[in-house]
Structure 1
Amino acid sequence: EDDTRAFTNLNLYIKKAKQEKKYAELFQGYRDAVFFSKSRDKKLQYADSCLDAAYKSASDDRISTAYVLKGSVYYAKLKKYKPALDEYLMAYKYAKNTNDLYLKYKISYHLGVVKNYLGYHEEALELFKECVAHFEEQANNKNLHEFKIFNNQKGYLNSIHQMVVCYRNMQDFKKADSLVDIGLLKTFNNKDFLLERSYFLKCKGLSEFNNNKYTSAITYLDQSLGLIKDDFAWMSVDYFYIGKSYLKLDQEDLAIANFKKIDSIFNKHDFILPELRENYEFLINHYKNKKEPEKQLYYTTQLLKADSIISRDFAYLSMKIHREYDTNTLIEEKGRLETANAWGGFLIAGLAITAGILVLILVKRHRKERSTLEKYVLLEEKVRNDNYVRSAVSNTPNPELSDDKKTQITETIKQDLLRKLRVFEDKNHFTQKGLTIQKLAVQFETNSSYLSQVINEQKGMNFNKYLGDLRIRYITRLLFDKNIYLNYTIETLAKECGIASRQNFSDLFFEINGIRPTDFIRNRKKEVDNISLGSVKL
Structure 2
Amino acid sequence: MLILAFCTSRAVAGIIYYPERDTLLLKNYAYLSDHIDRFEGKPQATIYLRAYLAKAYGEKNWPEVVEGYKNFVHASEESKRLAYTDSMIIAASKTRNNDILGSAYLTKGIVHYSMKHYPQALDNYLVAERYIAKGNDLYLKFKAKYNIAHIKYYLGYYEEALHLFQECSYYFKKENDLAYLNCLHSAGLCYSRMGKYALCSTTNALALKESRRLNISELDPYLRLSEGINLYFLQQYQRSLRLIGQSLPGILKDDDFANEAIACFYLGKANMALGNKALAYTYFRKVDYIFGEKHYLRPDMREGYEALIKYSHEKGNPESELYYINRLFKADSLLNSNYKYLSQKIHKEYDTAKLIEAKSAVETRLLIRKNYEIVFIVLGLLLICFLLYLIHKYFKSKQQYKIRFEQIMQEKAATTPLINSTVQKIAENDPIPIKAEVIASILKHLQKFEDQHKYLQKELTAVKIAESFSTNHKYLSKVILMHSGKKFTDYVNDLRIDYIINLLKEEPRYRKYNNRALAEEAGFSTTQHFTKAFLKRAQISPSFFIAELNAFSLS
The two structures have a TM-score, normalised by structure 1, of 0.59
1:103 positional shift: 1.1
1:88 is matched with which residue: 125, 141, 161? 125
Distance in 2 separating the partners of 1:276 and 1:249: 18
Q: What is the alpha-carbon distance in structure 2 between the residues aligned to residue 191 and residue 51 of structure 1?
A: 36
1:367-386 aligned within 5 A: none
- Cα 1:346–1:256, aligned 2, differ >3 Å: closer, same or farther? closer
Matches of 1:283 and 1:168, distance apart in 2: 25
**Which letter does structure 2 place at the counterpart of 1:8?**
I
Distance 1:124 1:308 in 2: 24
285, 293, 299: which one aligns with 1:260: 285
Distance, in Å, in 1 between the alignment partners of 2:71 and 2:290 is 28
Q: Specify the SS of the correspondent of 2:188.
A: helix
Does residue 111 of structure 2 align to residue 73 of structure 1?
Answer: yes
Separation in structure 2 between the aligned mates of residue 136 and residue 188 of structure 1, nearest angstrom: 14
Matched, 1:123 2:160: yes
Structure 1 position 192, deviation (Å): 4.1
1:207 is aligned, of 194, 212, 230, to 230
- How many Å separate the matches in 2 of 1:84 and 1:36? 20
Deviations 1:297-318 (A, max 9, x none): 1111101100000001112221
Change (3 A) 1:193 1:27: farther
Residue type at the aligned position of 1:103: L
- The equivalent residue for 2:220 is 197
Partner of 1:230, secondary structure, is coil
1:336-364 CA-partner distances (Å, limit 9, x unpaired): 222332454879xxxxxxxxxxxxxxxxx
In structure 1, the residue matched to 2:65 is 26
Q: C-alpha displacement at 1:106, in angstroms? A: 0.7
Check the 8 A contact 2:178/2:216 in 1, yes or no: no
Q: Is the 8 A contact 1:3 1:37 kept in 2?
A: no
Correspondence for 1:332: 357
Instruction: Give 2:178's aligned residue.
Output: 154
**Matching of residues 22-421 of structure 1 within 5 Å:** 22-38=61-77, 40-76=78-114, 78-138=115-175, 152-188=176-212, 192-194=216-218, 196-228=219-251, 229-342=254-367, 344=369
**2:224 corresponds to which letter in structure 1?**
L
1:207-254 deviation digits (Å, cap 9, x = unpaired):
221222222211111121111223322221111111111112222221
> Are the aligned partners of 2:149 and 2:161 in contact in 1 as well (CA < 8 Å)?
yes
**What residue number does 1:3 align with?**
41
Judge conservation of contact 1:4–1:37 (CA < 8 Å) in 2. no
Q: Is the 8 A contact 1:233 1:273 kept in 2?
A: no
Return the offset for 1:63.
Answer: 0.8
Asked which structure has the greater RCO (Cα within 8 Å, sep 6+), the reply is 1
User: Whole-Å Cα distance in 2 between the matches of residues 214 and 320 of structure 1?
Assistant: 26
Higher Cα radius of gyration: 2
Counterpart for residue 12 of structure 1: 51
Kindly provide the CA deviation profile for residues 386-425 of structure 1, in whole angstroms up to 9, marking residues without a partner as x.
Answer: xxxxxxxxxxxxxxxxxxxxxxxxxxxxxxxxxxxxxxxx
Shift of 1:57: 2.0
In the alignment, is the contact (CA less than 8 A) between 1:188 and 1:197 conserved in 2? no
Q: Distance in 1 between matches of 2:370 and 2:72?
A: 60
Q: Note closer, same or farther for the CA distance 1:329–1:169 as it changes in structure 2 (3 Å cut).
A: same
Pairs aligned (count)? 331
Structure 1 residue 9 displacement after superposition: 2.3
Structure 2: 5+ residue stretches without partners: 1-36, 373-555
Q: Counterparts of 1:342 and 1:13 in 2: how far apart (Å)?
A: 65
Mapping of residues 471-486 of structure 1, within 5 Å: none
Give the structure-2-normalised TM-score.
0.57
CA deviation string 1:35-70 (max 9, x = no partner): 1112x2211111111111111222211111111111
C-alpha distance in 2, partners of 1:91/1:227? 32
Q: Partners in 2 of 1:79 and 1:49 — Cα distance? A: 21
Question: Identical aligned pairs, as a percentage?
Answer: 37
Question: Which stretches in structure 1 are left out of the alignment for 5+ residues?
Answer: 139-151, 348-538
C-alpha separation in 2, matches of 1:346 and 1:286: 24
Which one is further off, 6-15 or 201-210?
6-15
Q: Distance in 1 between matches of 2:85 and 2:216?
A: 25
1:21: Cα distance to partner? 2.5
1:387-466 to structure 2, matched below 5 A, reads none
Match of residue 416 from structure 2: none
Contact 2:192 2:230 in 1 (8 A): no
Return the offset for 1:110: 0.7
How far residue 99 of structure 1 moved from its aligned partner, in angstroms, is 2.6
Displacement after TM superposition at 1:331 (Å): 1.3
